Structure 1
Amino acid sequence: MARVCVIGAGAAGLCAARHLLVEPCVAVVDLLEQAGQLGGTWVYTENVGYDDFGLPIHTSMYKSLRTNLPKEIMGFPDFPIPESDKSYLPAKDMLAFLQDYADKHGVTDIIKFNSHVQLVIPKQGPNGELWDVTFKNLKNGVSETREYDYVFVCNGHYNTPFIPSIPGLKEFEGDVMHSHDYRVPEIFTGKRVLVIGAGPSGMDIALEITSVTQKVILSHHLKTQPRTVFPENLVQRPDVVRLDGRKVYFQDGSEDEVDVVFLCTGYLYNFPFLHETCDIVVEDNCVEPLYKHLVNINHPTMCFIGVPYYVCAFSMFDLQVRYYVRSMNGTFSLPSSAQMTEDWEEEKQDRAAKGYTKRQAHMMGPDQEKYYASLATEAKTKNLPSVLTKIREESSERFLHNLKNYRQDIYKIIDDDTYEIISNGKREILC
């Protein structure tokens, strides 16, 4: 009977615990959560910087955030988000949904809150590899070490800011901040703000702050130029070449003067608790060696849930967990380390041939359906329906080209391949 440690009580960790708790081959599930509540990145706090225990604030949630994907594809396969007259929900509704999910499956009761994982280290046991996990009770300051057969790493990857290397950034005479610390637009009142990055947060926040700023410059390298009509005080520019004083110079030769450099440049994968003998290396946001972006090839009794991005996240977490649990209970056997390594190397070459950079090692997007199918086929488990990726692609297109209004669209799943969308009062069925 296996003893399992799950690190992190965000959506991925809750999903892992939910399946482990009903698995006959599992005896103990410890779910360790650093914060005082579940939800991970969906928890909103006005605090930035460090918490009361001197640890970095985990969440990057800003006050006005609403989901950038419709709720119809954001639930779990066996636990959808309840019906309502809106498809795009505020963060507090998503947090309430996760709380309900955890409560209904008996997960809430097993969470060890305020437990800061300090060290995860492999060791050889009498019947194979084991894990020593050391964690600190933040309330009383006491650390303890427990022994486990399996470790699920579910600490998320939207909490450690990525700061790009831009000439002159360190010497910039105005303010520099990362979207991780953004909460409300009023901090930019009357200022000229350079927003670097046009991912979901960058686009959203750039639009939001136009209500209070003198000027917003949105710098990006999107291959598809957004057709969204922005307010007059927002202009788009290509990548920044350098900063000098308060001046910013762009790739197209243009220049401007700004008061704030606002970095919406994404996040780093960060596993500070993993001892070097875990043999996991993160370089340029490529976490390796992982089989199927999931299994630690050198130590297959450790898995990472939720590493891929541009996916249907909660459903993918569920599929990844089901895959790995089925390897634990003997439904199928993982390939040998040599076979897993060969597969990982082939995938890296294939992705490079498609134009992915190393930093995009875990980006799925158009490859997500193939990824889901590979997990489901190998584990002999149910795959995710294609309608999820279809809606995701539709929503992403509408986000890019109708940023102001796309959240008013209402979606409805008809079957595994077909969905309905109501936009501007018009109903359309797509498949």
Structure 2
Amino acid sequence: RPRVCIIGAGIAGLTSAKYLKDEGIDFTVLECAYYVGGMWRYESSRTYDEFHSILHTAMISDLRLNIPHPAMELPGYPMPKHLHFFPYAQTYYYYIKSYAEHFNLMEHIQLLHNVTSVRREGNVWKVIHDNVLKNTVHEDEYDFIIIGTGHFSNANVPKFPHEELFKGVILHSKNYRVPTIYENHRVLIVGAGTSAWDIIIDMLKYAKTVVHSHHSKQNIKTKFPDQYIRKPDIKEYKENGVVFVDDSYEEIDDVIYCTGFNYTYPYLDPSCGLTVNKDHVLPLYKRLVNINEPSMVVLGLVRRACHVVALDAQVRYTTALLKGDFKLPSKEEMMNVWQKEVDNINCNGRPMSDLHLLGDKEDQYYRELSDESGIERVPPVMSKLRNVSNETKLENLFTYRDYIYEMIDDKSFRRTERVKKRERLDGKVAESIVFVADDG
């Protein structure tokens, strides 16, 4: 059996550890932080932990999950039944931590070991990692590398003209923690991704005005209070405000960029055979396997998917590969498959970042992984659950978490409106709808 190095002890790393342990495969997990759980751990500090290591968390203090917890459960470890269907992120972090403890994964994890180099030499991988606590350097050899460090640590920070003139405070959502410090402030939020909407809902409770700059084509049907002001993209900064591309102007005290994160794997040597750009990594077979060096996989790069479900499928595929349950196609065949994906993107004028996009092809992706490796297929209901939950979110960002989601079988689930006691007394009846997934 191969010697496996898992880099990172977040959800990807812990899930990998659990499956490899079940199969008796020799592995070690290297984690740069002093805890497991990755980005899900909340830290009030914005930059460094107590060991002077850079924090990789972007967690907001009162954040709640934005997808029902049936799509966030870790393999073989159901969430407690008493939990809200959209629990707080800090509750979810303790669930992740208890997962590692329940399956005795901690004995395989080296905390405070920062990987600084991964290179290919002959038929082995050489991994150099620093023991942050003891200030020692180690080099080990492995046969297989699983990269599970995610892509939510390196902030993508845009630049706009005359930004240096602005007298207010500019930060990235990675460094946002609590809304209370913005009481009566005029705050500009840039971007329309998940973090932007979470922060806006948070901020509306305290800020004087929330100016929202974005160019998203999402059909947001939510009705916002008067303090919410929609604006197009930024044109330039002034001392006390911002000019937008429609030449309108707003006075602003604080700016929060919710502009996503860059892919970054600074420890990868050129011998690894991967090209890492800020919004895509290539070449990868099945959005996972390093085509040039197939004994390396990169987990969790997919977007617009049930992230935990996708990770689980990718890890099960990888475990089956390590067990020898199936063989990968030849390098030439894998490259041809990948090149067709690239050609399709280029022909349609889409960005290369779409190499990692699943969206309405999420269930198809799971089916492909299953067909090739023989692993159990992800139930079609999971993709349907994500789609319905997202549509519900667009309908009303303030109330979309007020629903109960009950799984019926592999293809269907029931969504029931949560009715408050006072509403029940007034005669309101909970709306309940059954959704059925297309089996493809």
Structure 1 and Structure 2 fold alike (TM over 0.5): yes
Contact kept in structure 2, 1:188 and 1:213, CA below 8 Å: yes
The 1:143/1:217 distance shift into structure 2, 3 A limit, reads same
Of residues 294, 305, 310 in structure 2, which corresponds to 1:300? 294
The 1:85/1:420 distance shift into structure 2, 3 A limit, reads farther
Counterpart for residue 161 of structure 1:
155
Unpaired segments of 5 or more residues in structure 1?
Answer: none
Q: Quick check: 1:339 aligned with 2:333?
A: yes
Secondary structure in structure 2 of the residue aligned to 1:342: helix
Secondary structure in structure 2 of the residue aligned to 1:371: helix
Contact kept in structure 1, 2:287 and 2:355, CA below 8 Å: no
CA separation in 1, counterparts of 2:59 and 2:350? 28
Alignment of 1:99-114 (within 5 A): 99-114=97-112
Describe the superposition over 1:241-292 as per-residue Cα deviations: whole angstroms up to 9, x where unpaired.
Answer: 2223333222334221212121011111111111122122122411111111
Secondary structure in structure 2 of the residue aligned to 1:416: coil
Counterpart for residue 195 of structure 1:
189
Q: Quick check: 1:430 aligned with 2:435?
A: yes
Contact kept in structure 1, 2:171 and 2:255, CA below 8 Å: yes
Q: Quick check: 1:319 aligned with 2:345?
A: no
The 1:225/1:241 distance shift into structure 2, 3 A limit, reads farther
Contact kept in structure 2, 1:44 and 1:59, CA below 8 Å: yes
Secondary structure in structure 2 of the residue aligned to 1:224: coil
* Residues 344-353 or 157-166, more deviating: 344-353
Counterpart for residue 115 of structure 1:
113
1:105 shift after superposition: 2.2
CA separation in 2, counterparts of 1:85 and 1:404? 20
* Residues 249-258 or 57-66, more deviating: 249-258
Describe the superposition over 1:190-220 as per-residue Cα deviations: whole angstroms up to 9, x where unpaired.
Answer: 2211100111110110121122212111111
CA separation in 1, counterparts of 2:264 and 2:76? 30
1:231 shift after superposition: 2.2
CA separation in 2, counterparts of 1:314 and 1:202? 21
Counterpart for residue 12 of structure 2:
12
Counterpart for residue 28 of structure 2:
30
Q: Quick check: 1:152 aligned with 2:146?
A: yes
Counterpart for residue 252 of structure 1:
246
Counterpart for residue 207 of structure 2:
213
Alignment of 1:14-413 (within 5 A): 14-24=14-24, 26=25, 28-84=26-82, 86-124=84-122, 129-353=123-347, 356-413=350-407
* Residues 5-14 or 278-287, more deviating: 278-287
CA separation in 2, counterparts of 1:85 and 1:48? 29
Describe the superposition over 1:34-79 as per-residue Cα deviations: whole angstroms up to 9, x where unpaired.
Answer: 1111100110110111223333211000101000001011113533
Contact kept in structure 2, 1:77 and 1:315, CA below 8 Å: no
CA separation in 2, counterparts of 1:421 and 1:74? 17
Contact kept in structure 2, 1:120 and 1:134, CA below 8 Å: yes
Contact kept in structure 1, 2:341 and 2:355, CA below 8 Å: no
* Residues 51-60 or 288-297, more deviating: 51-60
CA separation in 2, counterparts of 1:395 and 1:114? 37
1:172 shift after superposition: 2.9
CA separation in 2, counterparts of 1:390 and 1:83? 22
1:85 shift after superposition: 5.5
Secondary structure in structure 2 of the residue aligned to 1:392: helix
The 1:350/1:170 distance shift into structure 2, 3 A limit, reads farther
CA separation in 2, counterparts of 1:401 and 1:235? 18
CA separation in 1, counterparts of 2:209 and 2:152? 28
1:17 shift after superposition: 0.7
Q: Which amino acid aligns with 1:201?
A: S
Q: Which amino acid aligns with 2:238?
A: D
* Residues 82-91 or 403-412, more deviating: 82-91
1:222 shift after superposition: 2.0
CA separation in 2, counterparts of 1:427 and 1:18? 36
1:95 shift after superposition: 1.4
Task: Give me the CA root mean square deviation.
Answer: 1.6
When the two structures are superposed, what TM-score results if normalisation uses the length of structure 2? 0.93
Contact kept in structure 2, 1:86 and 1:408, CA below 8 Å: no
CA separation in 2, counterparts of 1:299 and 1:143? 25
Q: Which amino acid aligns with 2:431?
A: K
Contact kept in structure 2, 1:285 and 1:361, CA below 8 Å: no
* Residues 363-372 or 148-157, more deviating: 363-372
Describe the superposition over 1:316-347 as per-residue Cα deviations: whole angstroms up to 9, x where unpaired.
Answer: 11111111222222211111111111111111
Counterpart for residue 424 of structure 2:
none
Contact kept in structure 2, 1:85 and 1:410, CA below 8 Å: no
Secondary structure in structure 2 of the residue aligned to 1:398: helix
* Residues 321-330 or 374-383, more deviating: 321-330
1:354 shift after superposition: 5.5
Q: Which amino acid aligns with 1:115?
A: H
Contact kept in structure 1, 2:69 and 2:86, CA below 8 Å: yes
Q: Which amino acid aligns with 1:194?
A: L
CA separation in 2, counterparts of 1:229 and 1:277? 52
Contact kept in structure 1, 2:263 and 2:278, CA below 8 Å: no
Secondary structure in structure 2 of the residue aligned to 1:132: strand
CA separation in 2, counterparts of 1:170 and 1:348? 39
Contact kept in structure 1, 2:264 and 2:278, CA below 8 Å: no
Describe the superposition over 1:65-124 as per-residue Cα deviations: whole angstroms up to 9, x where unpaired.
Answer: 000001011113533323235210111221122122222322122111111111111111
Secondary structure in structure 2 of the residue aligned to 1:343: helix
